[in-house]
């Protein structure tokens, strides 16, 4: 970024007293090799390595990029690494405070630097989703003509928040939430590094586990909590960050939950069984435990979709669309906002009337199939569109239901082996009552024998 009097003074202060900056700032990687996670974006020849000058420019110079990912996954860090490693002019803007005027000033400065000194400009624009269409339009000429190389960061789906012309002129790079192993390595580095805590405190395994749960894949949150807990421990004259100290510092109790162990499955099971039992309060408790532990929201959404069909079914035909919509929303927005969507779906499913009739129906049909009850498709139901089908008797005698006044044709549909089987036994719960009436009426008009 271009220096000014205040920036220079702040940097001078940080050099003289590194602890004046937050731990998350002090531990920012200085090179791409120090970046944790996002290895899919850091391979040799990748756009980010090209931006820091690891490969030639010219006609195949680095493209503008849009970094999309949840908070704390390294978007600003990657831009910071580029600013330190590149020999290009680096300018930073935030869409929260900047507007078209500031963008045009940067572009004009970039053109002067290129024409007068042959110096290329990298523009880092944070939170680009906050820019209006007109503000984003102002970037197009500079990006298209490569007056600037744009690095834009966003936490929102760029297909909804970034205009198509800008997307088509940039490479979209998706950042993934950091894994526990990524964060663990970062914490260990911060504990020992001269820029960090310099070995002043240690982090026991139980405290580390809780800290990872608090972080939820967010490096900035992990380092901020570590710094606060370390300060509290040192104030007490302790060199070990105890679990109680961490809890007191961040005001969050340690909830036993192992995302890779029994608790992962036990709490997920309790969530679904609470929904099945219509206990909305218990369901919300288990949902909160999963969210607090940093569970993958997509996993929770998948369980809710299964519950909608397994335990509710046609008793509330809206249950599955609600669960599917929640899963789609979760995939687009992520945490923390996804918690609201998961709560919405959990409440709707817990309070919906229940029926497992669809579950037992397919189970019974599959069981008969495993017993060998299948047999050939009745000849009148077979495909009759190809040449020679009629000679084989296919589709002969088939009655077209739409030709009948009641819209139902009393003919055999099932193979002989199961022609009298009844798999679907609807309940009278909620909306399924009308399906129960429909089943009774259709089976009567099909001339089916009751088993």
β 89-94/121-126 pair status:
parallel
**Quick one: average pLDDT of 98-127?**
84
* pLDDT value, residue 190: 92
More confident residue, 160 or 413: 160
pLDDT reading at 236 higher than 70: yes
Of 77, 83, 80, 142, nearest to 113 by C-alpha is 142
Angle (nearest 5°) at CA 414 between 408 and 420: 95
Average pLDDT, the chain: 81
pLDDT reading at 273 higher than 80: yes
* pLDDT value, residue 261: 46
Q: Hey, what are 68's tokens? A: 């999309």
* pLDDT value, residue 43: 81
The neighbouring-strand residues paired with 171 are 65
pLDDT tens per residue, range 279-337: 888 888 888 888 877 777 888 999 999 999 999 988 889 999 999 999 999 888 777 78
CA distance linking residue 72 with residue 219, whole number of Å: 5
* pLDDT value, residue 10: 45
**Quick one: average pLDDT of 115-131?**
83
pLDDT band of 188, cuts 50, 70, 90: very high
Question: What Å distances lie between residue 420 and 359, 369, 398, 407, 435, CA to CA?
Answer: 20, 15, 19, 21, 19
* pLDDT value, residue 119: 77
pLDDT band of 267, cuts 50, 70, 90: confident
* pLDDT value, residue 1: 43
Within 4-74, where are the H helices? 5-16, 23-26, 47-51
* pLDDT value, residue 37: 81
Of 366, 383, 385, 372, nearest to 416 by C-alpha is 372
**Quick one: average pLDDT of 90-106?**
86
* pLDDT value, residue 58: 47
Q: Can you give the C-alpha Rg of the chain in angstroms?
A: 31
* pLDDT value, residue 5: 38
**Quick one: average pLDDT of 41-61?**
67
Note whether 236 and 245 are within 8 A (CB). yes
124 three-class SS: strand
CA distance linking residue 235 with residue 145, whole number of Å: 56
pLDDT tens per residue, range 68-93: 888 778 888 888 887 777 777 888 88
* pLDDT value, residue 414: 78
Instruction: Indicate whether this model's pTM tops 0.85.
Output: no
* pLDDT value, residue 192: 92
pLDDT reading at 250 higher than 70: yes
Choose from 104-108, 141-145, 323-327, 434-438 the range with maximum mean pLDDT: 323-327
Q: Which residue has the tokens 């040449």?
A: 387
**Quick one: average pLDDT of 427-441?**
83
pLDDT reading at 117 higher than 60: yes
* pLDDT value, residue 62: 59
pLDDT reading at 29 higher than 90: no
* pLDDT value, residue 187: 92
CA distance linking residue 353 with residue 375, whole number of Å: 37
235-244, 265-274, 370-379: least confidently modelled range = 370-379
Share of the chain above pLDDT 90, in %: 13
Of 105, 159, 82, 106, nearest to 128 by C-alpha is 159
pLDDT band of 252, cuts 50, 70, 90: low
* pLDDT value, residue 9: 46
Q: Hey, what are 232's tokens? A: 């509290």
69 three-class SS: coil
pLDDT tens per residue, range 134-173: 889 989 988 888 888 889 999 888 888 899 999 988 888 8
CA distance linking residue 62 with residue 6, whole number of Å: 31
Note whether 427 and 315 are within 8 A (CB). yes
**Quick one: average pLDDT of 260-271?**
70
**Quick one: average pLDDT of 366-395?**
77
For every residue of 271-300, DSSP letters joined together read: HHHHHHTT-HHHHHHHHHHHHHTT--HHHH
Residue 245, Cβ density class (10 Å: 0-12 exposed, 13-18 middle, ≥19 buried): buried
């Amino acid at each position: 970024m271009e220096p000014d009097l205040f920036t220079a003074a702040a940097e001078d202060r940080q050099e003289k007293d590194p602890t004046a900056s937050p731990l998350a700032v002090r531990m920012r990687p200085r090179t791409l090799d120090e970046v944790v996670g996002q290895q899919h974006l850091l391979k040799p020849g990748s756009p980010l390595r090209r931006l820091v000058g690891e490969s030639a420019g010219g006609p195949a110079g680095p493209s503008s990029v849009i970094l999309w990912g949840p908070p704390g996954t390294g978007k600003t860090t990657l831009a910071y690494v580029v600013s330190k490693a590149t020999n290009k002019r680096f300018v930073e803007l935030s869409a929260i405070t900047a507007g078209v005027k500031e963008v045009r000033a940067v572009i004009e400065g970039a053109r002067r630097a290129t024409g007068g000194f042959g110096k290329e400009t990298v523009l880092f624009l944070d939170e680009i989703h906050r820019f209006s269409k007109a503000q984003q339009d102002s970037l197009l000429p500079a990006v298209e003509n490569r007056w600037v190389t744009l690095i834009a960061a966003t936490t929102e789906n760029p297909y909804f928040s970034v205009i198509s012309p800008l997307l088509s002129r940039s490479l979209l790079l998706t950042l993934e939430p950091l894994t526990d192993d990524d964060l663990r390595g970062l914490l260990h580095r911060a504990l020992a590094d001269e820029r960090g805590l310099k070995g002043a405190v240690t982090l026991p395994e139980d405290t580390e586990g809780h800290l990872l749960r608090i972080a939820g894949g967010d490096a900035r949150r992990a380092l901020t909590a570590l710094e606060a807990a370390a300060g509290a421990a040192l104030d007490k004259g302790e060199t070990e960050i105890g679990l109680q100290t961490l809890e007191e510092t961040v005001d969050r109790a340690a909830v036993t939950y192992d995302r890779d162990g029994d608790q992962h499955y036990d709490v997920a099971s309790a969530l679904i069984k609470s929904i099945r039992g219509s206990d909305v309060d218990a369901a919300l408790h288990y949902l909160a435990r999963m969210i607090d532990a940093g569970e993958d929201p997509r996993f929770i959404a998948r369980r809710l979709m299964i519950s909608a069909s397994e335990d509710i079914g046609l008793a509330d035909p809206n249950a599955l669309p609600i669960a599917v919509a929640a899963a789609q929303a979760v995939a687009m927005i992520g945490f923390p906002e996804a918690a609201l969507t998961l709560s919405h779906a959990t409440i709707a499913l817990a309070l919906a009337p229940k029926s497992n009739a669809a579950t037992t129906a397919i189970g019974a049909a599959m069981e008969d199939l495993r017993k060998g009850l299948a047999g050939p498709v009745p000849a009148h139901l077979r495909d009759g569109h190809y040449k020679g089908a009629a000679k084989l008797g296919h589709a002969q005698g088939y009655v077209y239901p739409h030709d009948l006044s009641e819209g139902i044709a009393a003919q055999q549909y099932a193979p002989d082996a199961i022609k009298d089987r009844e798999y679907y036994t609807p309940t009278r719960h909620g909306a399924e009552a009308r399906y129960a009436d429909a089943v009774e009426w259709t089976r009567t008009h099909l001339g089916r024998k009751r088993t």
